[in-house]
Each structure stands twice: as structure tokens, then as C-alpha cells.
Amino acid sequence: MVSPSDNQEQTLTLGLGFSSISSAKTKNPISGPGTKSCDHEPSLTLSLSGETYQTTTAVAAIERKVFVDQEPPCSVSVASSLSNVVSVKRERESASSDDLELERGSSRISDEEEDGCGPTNTPRKKLRLTKDQSALLEESFKQQSTLNPKQKQALADRLNLRPRQVEVWFQNRRARTKLKQTEVDCEYLKKCCETLTDENRRLQKELQELKTLKLGQPFYMHLPAATLTMCPSCERIGAGVPTIPGTPTTNSTPASKTHFTLGP
DNA sequence: TGCTTGTTTGCATTTACATCA
DNA sequence: GATGATGTAAATGCAAACAAG
């Protein structure tokens, strides 16, 4: 297995940190092993993708294809090169249950491969789902954003599609949902940012005004006389207090030198 | 019991095609 | 009709979870 640090991929992830995002990601108890339980935080990902190649993955992909192709004339060479793998797979196939059949149906294979020969002969043609198909898929997605193999197969039968197509549609649909949610969250954060910026600006302005005011007048000058108490130690409010409010003197530092307390 | 290996599945990213202005 | 933008089906690679040896 090649770790991400081994290849040239460099990924910069800006996480939004919204735990509520991707709420559609629910662990399906029926789907069994392979279902991830981790919650993917929403993130804006900027990635600089280098070339990555993973031998084990490639072999695994071939294995999957061989596993799925039942008697494919065009996969014989691959199968012969992986005879050990195939024999194991065949063993499992021979003892296959309904579930295994469904799993095979939901395995990752391209349309071309599923139809028989590999992608070398026919370039992939993009299928356009009909309105009815899309509607039914949407309806299913509303009920459940993930499908177990049986549900997938059932839906595929209803739609006259391959299970793989249903699987891909659900994957893309989940991606679209997440993208939309991210956009919504982004807008929300923008608004929050604007609000906080305005608030910050307002407070800065207020602070500046207060500072100006403080320089012009001692603080206690703005307070009612009843709220002031003479400091018992110095017995005065402060030294160098200007007689005329609003006319500061250089040596007037009432706030720092004056000992007074605010009354009740 | 911990480790290794293989399998399955979801997600992120990319590609390729269809449609529309 | 050519073209760029957009939407989306499909491909690819990776990681996580799990089971079995």
C-alpha cells in the first residue's frame, strides 16, 4: 500500500468544520462490512494532484473484473495470469449464495466490461437517464441516501439499469447534495463574517470615541456626583483636575493617579 | 491476541459525453 | 454549424472498515 506521503500528491484542505454537513452519511446496518463509520467533515479541498499509481490497487481492480466476468472470452488472458486469484474466486462463486450474487452484481465494473469485452473496443457512451428513471432514483434517494446490495439490485431491476449504474447515480447524487450544502454553509459563513466585521468596526469606532472623550475629560466627570466617593488616603479626587471640563492639561492623569470608587 | 491480507464500499477527483445558449 | 458553458454519467484512486487466516 502506498501512503499519501509516498506519492506526489499535495493536498490543501480548508475545513469548514460543520458537523451537521453530510448528514446523509448514515451507516447502513444491512450493508455489512465495508461501510465506513467515519464522518467526513465538509471541506474545501484544493489539491495538486501528481501522478499516482498503485500496483496493489491495479491488481485488485483486475481481480474484481475477473471475479465479475463469468465466462468472458476477452478476460481469459487476465484470468490466466491471475490463476490463483481466479481459482479462489471461482471457489467462492461455486458456493455462492444470493447475497454473493448481489454483491457480484454490485461490483465495480464498467459497462463495457459488464457487457463482455473491455473498454478497448467501444468508447464509453454516455447514457442519459430518462425522466422516469431519474424520478424514481430521486424518490429512492429521499428515502435513503445509501443502498445495500439488495436494495441496489431491486432498484436496478425496477429501472432496467445495471446495479453499477444505480450505485454511480447514488454516489454522484450524494456528491451533489454535499456540494449544495457546502455552498449553503459558505454563504452562511460569509454573512457571519460580514456581520462580525461590521460589529468589530462599530466597536472600534466606539472605542476610539471613548478614548478621545477620556483624553478630553476625566472619566468621573461624566458620572453623577453621588456616585463618587472621596479616597480616604489622599482625600481628594485627583491632582491637577482642570477647573473647566473639556480643557485638558499635560499633567492631568486622573484615571491613573486618582483613587476613587464608584458608589452604589 | 495482534498482525497481515483480501474484500467491499464511500468519497474525492477527473474524464468524457450530451445538451443548450 | 461551430463553440464554449454546464450538467452529469462513468472511471479512477485512495482510505476505512471488516473478516478470515
Instruction: Give the pLDDT confidence of A131-158 residue by residue, as tens digits.
Output: 999 999 999 999 999 999 999 999 999 9
Same domain for A141 and A214? yes
CATH number at residue A177: 1.10.10.60
With bands split at pLDDT 50, 70 and 90, how would you rate the model's confidence at A218?
Answer: low
- CA A36 to CA A44: how far, in whole Å? 21
| A181, part of any domain | yes
Q: What is the pLDDT of residue A207?
A: 96
Q: Percentage of chain A surpassing pLDDT 90?
A: 27
* Nearest amino-acid residue to C18, taking CA and C1': A33
Among A126, A143, A171, the domain-final residue is A126
Answer yes or no: is pLDDT of A170 > 70: yes
Closest nucleotide (CA of A102 to C1')? B8
Count of Cβ atoms closer than 10 Å to residue A151 Cβ: 21
Examine the domain organization and report whether A69 and A100 are in the same domain. yes
Question: Any atom of strand C under 7 A from CB of A120?
Answer: no
Q: Are residues A140 and A67 in the same domain?
A: no
Phi, psi of A75 (to 5 degrees): -110, 10
The pLDDT mean for chain A works out to 57
Nearest to A29 by CA among A37, A41, A39, A38: A37
Same domain, A140 and A165: yes
Grid coordinates given for A222: 461624566
Same domain, A114 and A60: yes
Return the closest nucleotide (C1') to the Cα of A85.
B6
Residue A241, pLDDT score: 39
Nearest nucleotide to the CA of A166, by C1', is C9
Confidence of residue A166 (pLDDT cuts 50, 70, 90): very high
| Same domain (yes/no): A101, A135 | no
Identify which of A171, A184, A198 has the alpha carbon closest to the alpha carbon of residue A16.
A184
The predicted-structure confidence for A74-114, as pLDDT tens digits, reads as follows 333 333 333 333 332 333 333 333 333 333 333 454 444 44
Residues 36-75 of A with CB within 7 A of strand C: 36-38, 52-54, 57-58, 61
Specify the pLDDT at position A127.
Answer: 81
Asked if residue A261 belongs to a domain, the reply is: no
Domain around A85: 56-126
Res A4: pLDDT: 30
Q: Residue A51: which pLDDT band, with cuts at 50, 70 and 90?
A: very low
Residues A156 and A95 in one domain: no
- Measured CA to CA, the distance from residue A34 to residue A261 in angstroms comes to 69
Query: Residue A151 CA to B21 C1' — how many Å?
Result: 39
d(CA A181, CA A186) in angstroms, rounded, equals 8
Distance in angstroms: CA A189, C1' C13: 32
Protein CA A137 to sugar C1' C2 (Å):
35
Sign of CA dihedral A13, A16, A20, A22: negative
A128 touches strand C (CB under 7 A): yes
Residue A185 has pLDDT above 70, yes or no: yes
User: Is pLDDT at A5 greater than 90 in this prediction?
Assistant: no
Question: Which of A64, A95, A126 lies at the terminal end of a domain, its last residue?
Answer: A126
The nucleotide closest to A146 (CA, C1' atoms): B10
In chain B, which nucleotides are within 7 Å of a protein Cβ?
Answer: 6-14, 16-19
Chain C bases under 7 Å from protein CB?
7-19
Looking at the structure of chain A, the number of domains it has is 2
Distance, CA of A235 to CA of A22 (rounded, Å) = 67
- Listed residues A76, A108, A126: the one ending a domain: A126
Examine the pLDDT at A24 and tell me if it is beyond 70. Answer: no
Q: What percent of chain A has pLDDT over 70?
A: 35
* pLDDT given at position A238: 45
Q: Which residue has the higher pLDDT, A24 or A177?
A: A177
